[in-house]
Amino acid sequence: MTRITAKETIVSKPEDHLSQAIQLALDNVQTRKGRPFGAVLVKDGQVVATGVNTVLSSHDPTAHAELQAIREAARAQGSPRLDGHVMYASGHPCPMCLAAMYLAGIRQVCYAYSNEDGEPYGLSTRELYAELAKPLAAQAMQLSYLPLRPAGQEPYEAWRQLNTAPLANS
């Protein structure tokens, strides 16, 4: 990824970022690193991070282009919050990537290829979206709530105490 210095003048259009995401996807396929997906994360007209799908080369089912860009940006900025960023993705984001964007505070996404475009190539997540739209009891994955509470301090209570304790220097 090319880093842009603060002194450079940024003239960018959404189409430029989307074209970059598509080129990343094409390069990813041609170099046989993964599936045809690329992502460009932008804030205030500047490219903050990019990512490509490396599921096949990394054997990591979560190594989607959008998640790779989110991880890179969060590490670089030292924060899990990416409010004000815009995601440009070559393809329609899957539910996992969409959820990650929500969790990170990304509220704008532009994509070039729809689930319908990807369907003939086995690159659609339409069926997964349909599955997740069902009530939990009707979904194929069994999700069980087992309220186990071992003796001692609970993790949620430890989190609350840590995050409500006064700072040492205040």
Global confidence as pTM: 0.85
Whether 64 contacts 98, CB under 8 Å: no
Which domains does the chain carry? 14-114 (3.40.140.10)
Quick one: tokens of 167?
């700072």
Whether 37 contacts 18, CB under 8 Å: no
Whether 52 contacts 24, CB under 8 Å: yes
Single-letter amino acid code for the residue at 60? D
> What's the confidence (pLDDT) of residue 6?
45
157 is catalytic: no
From 66, 116, 119, 127, active-site residue: 66
Count Cβ atoms below 10 Å from residue 162 Cβ, excluding itself: 8
Segment 76-106, tens digit of pLDDT? 999 999 999 999 999 999 999 999 999 999 9
117-123, Cβ contacts within 8 angstroms, sequence gap of 24 or more: 117/91, 118/91, 118/92, 123/35, 123/36, 123/91
Pairing of strands 85-91, 38-43: antiparallel
pLDDT for 37 beyond 60 = yes
